[in-house]
Amino acid sequence: MTGRAKVLGILNVTPDSFSDGGEHLDFDAAVAHAEAMVAAGADIIDIGGESTRPGAERVDPEIERARVLPVVVALAERGIEVSVDTMNASTALAAVRSGASIINDVSGGLADLGMAGVIAETRVKYIAMHWRGPSNEMVTLADYRDVPSDVRRELKSRVAELLVQGIDEQQLILDPGLGFAKDARHNWQLLSRLGEIESLGYPVLVGASRKRFVGALPQRNRVGAGVDPRDLPTAVISALAAHAGAWGVRVHDVASTAAALDVVDAWRAGADA
């Protein structure tokens, strides 16, 4: 990949997401936070109305749409590019009609078999994540022989199915699914061998932000009060992922990641010079 990695700012309009559940459930708070993330350097706002944290239960699609769609409309009217994080085809279709240009599906089309048809029909970009099962089962599914090879093979198979169902390969972005049916060791192996996922020939999104394996790193009193200790290592992961060729990174704290990507840009410019 060439060029600066995209920064997707996470906007959870949910009461129960693992890091910021309930903080932006109110419409005005959600829009204000999105605008603040754009000002801090976000290229895209990724809106989710259903938590996918380990153990989370599914949300009725009508509730999901009620949470998400008003915010999609408001941000699209402001000229902000919007991605919607959903596993539901009905929500995806409504989101695109409301102004979203990307659908981010953590199930890669497996949770709702109507999703591929919606993506093929609307022609929007589609982020397909590596997925082995729902959030309330994922811990039991973290069994691999070699995680980067296994994830690559399973993503390749999923891509083949999506293409058969009418999605154009130019629409696809792949996500290796850090933390989804993967333990800390699996996540670090995937990051260190990200090139194996990129070798499939599609843009790759990395979503490590504030996840449990990041929080497990030594803290060393590195942050002050009111700062999430997982944001600094997330920014480092974002920089390393971008330097390794990732198309984009999905983060909660946009400012620290944008600063890290400035370093990557300067590094590359130095190499080009």
Q: What is the pLDDT of residues 93-119, one digit of tens each?
A: 999 999 999 999 999 999 999 999 999
pLDDT of residue 184: 95
According to DSSP, the residues that pair with 254 across neighbouring strands are none
> pLDDT tens digits, the chain, 273 residues: what are they?
468 999 999 999 987 544 554 566 789 999 999 999 999 999 999 999 998 767 667 789 999 999 999 999 999 999 999 999 999 999 999 999 999 999 999 999 999 999 999 999 999 999 999 999 887 788 888 899 999 999 999 999 999 999 999 999 999 999 999 999 999 999 999 999 999 999 999 999 999 999 999 988 887 655 555 568 899 999 999 999 999 999 999 999 999 999 999 999 999 999 887
According to DSSP, the residues that pair with 175 across neighbouring strands are 129
Residue 199 and residue 221: Cα distance in Å, rounded?
Answer: 38
pLDDT of residue 21: 47
pLDDT of residue 2: 60
Contact call for residues 241 and 206 (beta carbons, < 8 A): yes
The DSSP symbol for 56 reads P
Catalytic residues: 211, 250
Tell me the whole-structure pTM to 2 decimals.
0.91
pLDDT of residue 224: 56
Nearest to 190 by CA among 265, 263, 111, 130: 130
pLDDT digits (tens, 9 = 90+) for 245-257: 999 999 999 999 9
Cα–Cα distances in Å, from 264 out to 50, 58, 105, 199? 33, 38, 28, 21
Residue 65 and residue 185: Cα distance in Å, rounded?
Answer: 35
pLDDT of residue 79: 98
CA torsion sign for 93, 99, 105, 109 is positive
Cα–Cα distances in Å, from 201 out to 57, 166, 219? 34, 18, 36
